[in-house]
A and B are shown apart, each in its own frame.
Chain A
Amino acid sequence: MAVEGTWEIITGNQAAAIAAKLARVKVVPAYPITPQTTIVEYIASFIESGHMDAEYIRVESEHSAMAAAIGASAAGVRAFTATASQGLLLMSEVLHWAAGSRLPIGMAVVNRAVGPPWNIHVDHQDAMSQRDTGWLQVYISSNQEVLDTILMMYKVAEHPDVLLPFMVCLDGFVLSHTYMPVNIPRQEDVDEFLPEYSPPHWKLDPENPITFGNLALPEEYQEMRWSMDLSMRRALDLIEDVAEEFFQKFGRYHGGVTWKYKVEDADYVVVTAGTMASEAEVAVDELREEGMRVGLLKVRAFRPFPHRDVAEVLQDRKGVIIIDRSIAFSSGGPIGIEVRSSLYNISGSPPVVNYVTGLGGRDVTYEDIVEMTKDGIGRITSDRLRRPYYWYKLKPEYEKIELSEEVRL
């Protein structure tokens, strides 16, 4: 379990590019979009300088990027691309094709607000609005976790029980353009951990022609969707197993489908994802110093959603505070919605306060998380839980409107 490899101070985008190289991906169709651009630039330079043996395809849009990745993966090789925001939305139709064709394509999504209005900063709505495409989605809190998770997720996605594509989602600029020390594992260790991809069921082969994405009428279609759903649920345990295997080999553990921090004796648990979860660790320490028993449950896997683990950790607590960096208009934060669905039919389901904040890159510091947690605890203990969700840090003049009795939910 010795930590080998070299240490470098790199950005989240560099970490993603290096992970693609270490995973020995063979085809990278690329279309640049801020804040993803440097990922595909680093990969281009790796290939040009002979450090990476892959085909680089300069496509005319993100729609084509994903279409080319599908072609490559269908031909039986590991494919990778990266995108953000409108680029991901432009891919949406083809995201369904990738998942429905059961192709384990890897993609880094650098989370960015959706326009209009134009905004290049972090917000999870781009990826979370693609949650039902059949892609696995993992949300990341550090640059080391970006690199390690891309390697782990290829292993999960290519497992014969899964065969679904995956997104590793990293917060725009907060991770993509921020430098952190990252351990870069040795190629031979990665090769041992992640052998070459070999499609277990089918691939495009002129010797044995097949068509894919064909017509499936009502007698066929439903079971295909069931099979995708089953595979996604199966991925819950595989993500845990592969994280454990990665830990045994490389000595690093970022959590499986969730990451728990000081939850054992916690009365209240904060639930969040991405870089807000790193801030929340600091907030938990602060709150504990003030004598409040608070813990953190970080949601790493948003698809598959870890309902059972969430319920196990949260049941019988005095309350749950969920912080979302995305808005599902008129329903709250996407994580808030999922967590409620995990808790609804269990005994001992605790009260839930969901905050929506940090949109379009608005800063969310550990102090904000301390404040939201205290506000949430106050609402729970004084029975002021009137709404399924609350906006946090609206400008005061708007907050007045938001909290007025006329605003119905």
Chain B
Amino acid sequence: MGLGIPIIIPVSKPSKGAAGKTGLWRVEKPVVDEDKCIKCWLCWLYCPEDVITEGPNGFPQIDYTFCKGCGVCADVCPTKAIQMIKEEE
């Protein structure tokens, strides 16, 4: 075994917001239209920030504190249920 040399490895558990409250950067936010959503969960799979979860009514719910507004979820949604809406200011 080793001599106890510290091997400092750049690995971490995935978690949201490792780089701060990224939601502050956002210029557009994704909004889910539950009438169009078919719960395929592609948005959940593709969201690079891991901020999409299942909301109380079973539809995708977005944590806007950390959602950076990249629009990937809107892009992959097969039914166009997610719209990117301009932030007020």
Contact = CB atoms under 8 A, between A and B. Distances in A.
Interface of A: 100-102, 159-161, 163, 201-202, 209-216, 223-224, 226-227, 230-231, 234
A100 B11 contact: no
Contacts of A210: 11-14
A224 B3 contact: no
B8 A224 contact: yes
Contacts of A223: 8
B12 A161 contact: no
16 contacts: A160-B2, A160-B5, A160-B7, A161-B2, A163-B9, A201-B9, A209-B14, A210-B13, A212-B11, A212-B12, A215-B18, A215-B19, A224-B9, A224-B10, A227-B6, A234-B5
Contacts of B13: 209-211
Given A159-B2, A212-B12, 8 more contacts: A100-B10, A160-B2, A163-B9, A201-B7, A210-B12, A211-B11, A223-B8, A234-B3
Interface residues of B, number: 15
A216 B18 CA distance: 10
Interface in B9-54: 9-14, 18-19
Chain B residues touching A, majority SS:
loop
A101 B12 CA distance: 12
A231 B6 CA distance: 8
A234 B3 CA distance: 9
Q: Which 5 residue pairs are nearest across A and B when measured between Cβ atoms?
A: A227-B8, A160-B2, A161-B2, A161-B5, A212-B11
A339 to B, nearest CB: 27
Given A101-B10, A214-B11, A160 B1 contact: yes
A226 B1 CA distance: 21
A102 B12 contact: no
Given A159-B2, A215-B18, A234-B3, A202 B9 contact: yes
B46 to A, nearest CB: 16
Given A214-B18, A215-B18, A215-B19, A161 B10 contact: no
Nearest to A103: B9
Contacts of A215: 18-19
Contacts of B19: 215
Contacts of B8: 223-224, 226-227
Contacts of A216: 10
B5 A212 contact: no
A161 B1 CA distance: 8
Contact of A102 (B2, B3, B9): B9
A323 to B, nearest CB: 34
Given A210-B14, A215-B18, A215-B19, A101 B9 contact: yes
Given A211-B14, A215-B18, A231 B9 contact: no
A102 B2 CA distance: 15
Contact of A231 (B1, B5, B11, B14): B5
A160 B9 CA distance: 12
A335 to B, nearest CB: 27
Contacts of A102: 7, 9
A217 to B, nearest CB: 9
A7 B59 CA distance: 68
Contact of B5 (A101, A214, A230): A230
A201 B9 CA distance: 8
B81 to A, nearest CB: 27
Given A215-B19, A231-B5, A202 B11 contact: yes
Nearest to B3: A161
Contacts of B11: 101, 201-202, 210-212, 214
